[in-house]
Amino acid sequence: MFPLHVTLFVLLANLALCQYYDYDYQPVSMLGPSGPNCNKECDCPINFPSAMYCDNRKLRFVPIVPSGIKYVYLQNNLIEEIKAGVFDNVTDTLRWLVLDHNQITNAKIEKGTIDKLTALEKLFFSFNNITEPAIPPSKFLEELKMMNNKLSKFPSGLLTDKVNLTSISLQHNELTSEAITDAFKGPKKLLSLDVSHNKLRKLPAGVPSSLEILYADYNDIDKIGAGYLKKLPSLRYLRVSHNNLEDSGIPAGAFNVTSLLELDLSFNRLQSIPEVNEQLEQLYLQANEINKFDLASFCKFTGPLNYSRLKHLRLDANIITYSDIPPESANCLRQASDIMFE
């Protein structure tokens, strides 16, 4: 078992690094010549015989995957369709399927393909043209990436039995709040959910209490539900930047939860600093309309053990300056090494 902080570090790193690192990609030339048990369109290196590399080959179809293959790399092709039967040899053994950067639509995903993969652990389906998710029946699914598609709906119930799913990435789609109602109720081990760059009016409803990372930047969110964060006792990283939040859309104490370490509310329309918990370490409020510095937002009262753990605070591109900080803030914000006004 890895420590919790290691798991979080890996999740955050995966969100930041390019997709090649996401699936531990290595050039075929580093893995030796191809073995005999391989489709002629691809390479199955003898030093890694359970992987089939079909990436960057201008393929227009998914080739038949031979038995013994657990990892299939099909990124960066011209694939438009997935024909029935291509996965028949690996329905209960295929673990990773990478389909990023192709031209696949839902209409060209035939039955008897993804819907037969019962052992899949990772499905990478980003940069295609699907309008709704294609979800395998596998209960072992751990990671789902469908970024930069045309997703406009995500029916509830698709993830009901995904008990091992820990990470979902759906940024850069066309999802509305109504389209994802109860979509994420099933995976009770979910740690990371990214719905940035969509059309949400509110934070996703019905997410499991296990969630630790929620990114919802670049949406149309104009309010935070009262008690929303209270239902997420493990949430540590919340980003809601580049939305339409105003003071009236944030109930009192909405962000005052002990679990939260990082909160990003930058590029909204806030006029005051929302109340946060003393355990918060990173607060980003730049590019709002904040015109006052209320110390009570950080500390209700100050004492030897009662003070804010805030380390970084960004207030640049607002209507206040460093001179607006009250003198008594030194005790409350004693750990703040970086308060930015310009």
Residue from 147, 142, 143, 146 nearest 134 by CA: 146
Band (22; pLDDT cuts 50, 70, 90) = low
Quick check: 255 and 229 in contact, CB under 8 A?
Answer: yes
Read off the tokens for 197. 């760059």
**Host H or E run for residue 331:** helix 329-332
Cα separations (Å) of 219 from 94, 138, 315?
35, 31, 21
Q: Quick check: 5 pLDDT over 50?
A: no
Question: Phi/psi at 318 (nearest 5 deg)?
Answer: -125, -165
**Host H or E run for residue 12:** helix 4-16
pLDDT at 301: 85
Band (17; pLDDT cuts 50, 70, 90) = very low
210-240 pLDDT, tens digit each: 999 999 999 999 999 999 999 999 999 999 9
Band (4; pLDDT cuts 50, 70, 90) = very low
List, in sequence order, every beta strand (DSSP E) within 199-342.
213-215, 237-239, 262-264, 282-284, 312-314, 338-340
